[in-house]
Amino acid sequence: MSDIDFSSHPCFNKEAHHKYGRIHLPIAPRCNIQCNFCNRKFDCMNESRPGVTSSVLKPSQAVEYLAEVVAKRPEIKVVGIAGPGDPFANPVETMETLRLVHERFPDLMLCLASNGLGIGPYIDEIAELNVSHVTITITAVDPKIGAKIYAWIRDGRSPVRGEEAARILIERQLDAVRRLKEKGVVVKINSIIVPGINDEHIPEIAKVVGPMGVDIMNCMPLVPVAGAFFEELPAPDSLMTARVRLQCGQHVEQMVHCARCRADAVGLIDEKMTEDQMTTLNRFAHSSISAGKERPYVAVASREGALVNMHLGEAASILIFKKDDETASGFKFVEIRKTPAPGGASARWTDLADLLADCRAFLVNAAGPSPKAALEERGIEIIEMEGLIEEGLTAVFASQPIPASLKRRFTSCGSGGCRGTGTGCA
């Protein structure tokens, strides 16, 4: 491994994971591939798996959040970026966060976890920032097997599918491993054991990456997730997992204490997410929109006026409500506003923010990252939900969180919950 001291790194030193902790900064919501074992729609503090987070932070929010957490938790020695999407489907946010953390907390170790598709252009700077290690998730080195695991990849603007998608991804992954090792960066490989798909193939991955100098490999049993293409597949039993790790261990050192960390994980590896931790994260995630809390109106995207059931970008008109304590519901319909016409790129979202300047929140079924960022920068909270308008309005006007039963997490295009074609929404 490199000359970085890994004695306090909970992933690389099994003895350290009961003493030293890590924090993941969830600043990367978009993903550039769709794996058949992944669905990141669901979020609760009992979900402990990659791709899950309570909130997404901007880089400036992330570094302030980090400062508060490490002041309370000095045992945290590692700062990671692992989603909830892929760091390099969000390269601007990822690199800005790494720079800010490196400058302000030079003694903390930095790490990244990526699928490897888009990391290539950033490897030189990753090394310059002294990132301690990079994890690349490789589930196949044979495009025929990879085609069974990936629904699509997004290479540029267009989605690619089948064996061609798998071939491109595998080439990028192996090139990233080679270049990272040339730069002296420690590399860990994650491989998901999918019974009947790649369980007999994973030792081939170890045979390929071992001679490339990979430092450690983490063979992770599939966890069937509701809504994923592989949701009906059984998890590998302990015998299959042991066999895969034993065979791979002939070529690469094996990690056996992985806790399948959330994208917003905090503390020791075996520590569960707590309500207080989620509250702290959510407070920082909403810090940029606190200025709009006193505005009188709430906007709603609805097809028929009863349900919140329209994507932000689809809404040609928006319903406006205001708080009214004299009504039984506690709110009152005000008017309908026409939204700016499609087109015009970012100007459309600036115009929409102007249209809703007197609104504290906007209830939508889903929202893309560009309009969401534009509106939240103007103090308009974007609340992604599904269900009755009145239930959402009741919570907002009472300054309460949206009930968990109404939440819809990370279902916007490119954000991972959608298992569509990868073409994006118009």
In this predicted structure, what is the pLDDT of residue 50? 62
Q: Which domain holds residue 332?
A: 291-406
Domain identity same for 168 and 305: no
What string of pLDDT tens digits covers the 426 residues of the chain? 445 555 556 566 555 555 678 889 998 888 899 888 887 554 433 344 566 777 888 888 899 899 999 998 888 899 999 888 899 999 999 999 999 999 999 999 999 999 999 999 999 999 999 998 999 999 999 999 999 999 999 887 788 999 999 999 999 999 999 999 999 999 999 999 999 999 999 999 999 999 999 999 999 998 877 778 887 788 889 999 999 999 999 999 998 866 567 878 887 777 777 777 778 887 777 766 555 677 899 999 999 999 999 999 889 999 999 998 888 888 999 999 999 988 777 789 989 999 998 999 999 999 887 888 888 878 888 999 999 999 999 999 988 888 878 876 544 444 444 444 444 443
Q: What per-residue confidence (pLDDT) applies to 255?
A: 87
Q: What is the DSSP letter of 340?
A: P
Q: Are residues 354 and 369 in the same domain?
A: yes
The 3-class SS string of 376-421 reads HHCCCEEEEECEEHHHHHHHHHCCCCCCHHHECCCCCCCCCCCCCC
Domain shared by 108 and 249, yes or no: yes
Structure confidence at residue 277 (pLDDT):
78
Domain-embedded: residue 8 = no
pLDDT tens-digit series, residues 202-230: 999 999 999 999 999 999 998 877 778 88
In a domain, 83, yes or no: yes
Q: Can you give the pTM of this predicted structure? A: 0.69
Indicate whether 281 and 347 sit together in one domain. Answer: no
* Domain-embedded: residue 121: yes
Domain-located, residue 423: no
Question: Do 180 and 202 belong to one domain?
Answer: yes
Within 10 A of 190 (CB to CB), how many other CB atoms are there?
20
Whether 411 maps to a domain, the answer reads no
Where a domain ends, among 234, 266, 285?
A: 285
189 and 41 share one domain: yes
Residues 6+ apart with CB under 8 A from 99: 129
Is 188 within the bounds of a domain? yes
Q: Which amino acid, one-letter code, is at 330?
A: G
Tell whether 128 and 264 lie within a shared domain.
yes
DSSP-derived pairing of the beta strands 359-364 and 297-300: parallel
pLDDT of residue 362: 95
| Cβ-proximal residues to 111 (8 Å cutoff; 6+ apart), any chain | 11, 78, 79, 80, 81, 131, 132, 133, 134, 135
Final residue in a domain of this structure, among 252, 285, 318: 285
Q: In the prediction, which pLDDT does 415 show?
A: 43
Q: Is residue 417 part of a domain?
A: no
Tell me which of 226, 251, 285 is where a domain ends: 285
Number of domains present in the structure of the chain: 2
Domain presence at residue 4? no
